[in-house]
Amino acid sequence: MDDALYGKRDKRGDWKPFERVTYPPVFVWPAQPAGLARWFFGYPGYLLPWNMLYAVLGIVVWTWLTPPLETMKDFAPGWILFLLARNAVLTLIFYSLFHLPLYARKSQGSAFKFNGKWLDRDNEAFLFRSQLADNLIWSFASGVTIWTAYEAVTPWAFANGVIPYLDWHTHPVWFVLLMLLIPLFREFHFYVVHRLIHWPPLYRTVHKLHHNNVNPGPWSGISMHPVEHLLYFSGVLIHWIVPSHPIHALFQLLHAGLSPAHGHAGFERILIGKKASIATHCYAHYLHHKYCECNYHDGTIPLDRWFGTFHDGSEAAHDAMNDRFMARHARKRAA
């Protein structure tokens, strides 16, 4: 598959897709029922491939890889360490599915790769001057640990009646509807948290660690400061308020913990054989890592468009972003 048919590469070796970043036809008027149905049920779309993957994985993990709720009624090292090991193994396997072919074996070379350079191996911004080592350390030491802490406390709260429990046998419609709404809530929560940690004091002390990955790879996804991990995974606390089943909380945590792998892949497409490919749809977030002050969120809800921080990859969007940047700094100097 020739990436020149889908985009162009500049003199620095950076590749940019011809197709612009767009939002699905959800928050538009007049309504587009046919387009909405194609987006919801089609491929790629709202359900397929990613949201359905994490939903099914959540059900599988709950059914076969999670201790019974009764066991989690009392905090005990055994089941908590089991959750920690399980999440570490899931993270290692899932992120490796992207890192190994794209960056270790470089099986498709730089085809569809946004940034012409590879991961940094001698950069003092990273631990041991290695981007990959830095990403792995923060992902496991902080990311998987804090993710597991939220997961351990939540089923304990379900088991002890601290938070409202939703029985799927009694409320099957609400059970399914909540599964469908969780990715939308994750988008909104991520946008709010992301804008918060771009507040200069928090950016300098917390979020800059993640933004050292100007040229992100899959393992950059959950390579964050512990404070950012606390905020990032805190979305699961919605299930302490809204009646839910532990599967909903597990689905949300798996979505948050694993989806950054393809969201930071650095490639528009992952080639499978000579003709097939899987689209990552990570260009919008790559632009955020490149320019820092745009695309705080990418997904279904057009929050960046509503708040004037949307960058669709075009030269016009780039010029508009620069104009806003210069105007803002001119106001600061005048003040």
The residue ranges of every structural domain in the chain are 3-334
The pLDDT of residue 329 is above 80? no
Element (H, E) at 333: helix 315-334
Contact 325, 211 (CB under 8 A): no
User: For 62-99, what is each residue's pLDDT tens digit?
Assistant: 999 999 999 999 999 999 999 999 999 999 999 999 99
User: Which tokens hold the place of 149?
Assistant: 């802490």
User: For 285-322, what is each residue's pLDDT tens digit?
Assistant: 999 999 999 999 988 999 999 999 999 999 888 878 87
* DSSP assigned state of 160: T
User: For 219-243, what is each residue's pLDDT tens digit?
Assistant: 999 999 999 999 999 999 999 999 9
Q: Quick one: three-class SS letters along 213-260? A: CCCCCHHHCCCCCHHHHHHHHHHHHHHHCCCECHHHHHHHHHHHHHCH
pTM of the full structure = 0.95
Query: What are residue 9's phi and psi, to 5 degrees?
Result: -110, 135
Contact 231, 193 (CB under 8 A): yes
**Block residue for tokens 């001119």:** 330
Q: Helices in 67-139 by DSSP H: which ranges?
A: 77-99, 131-137
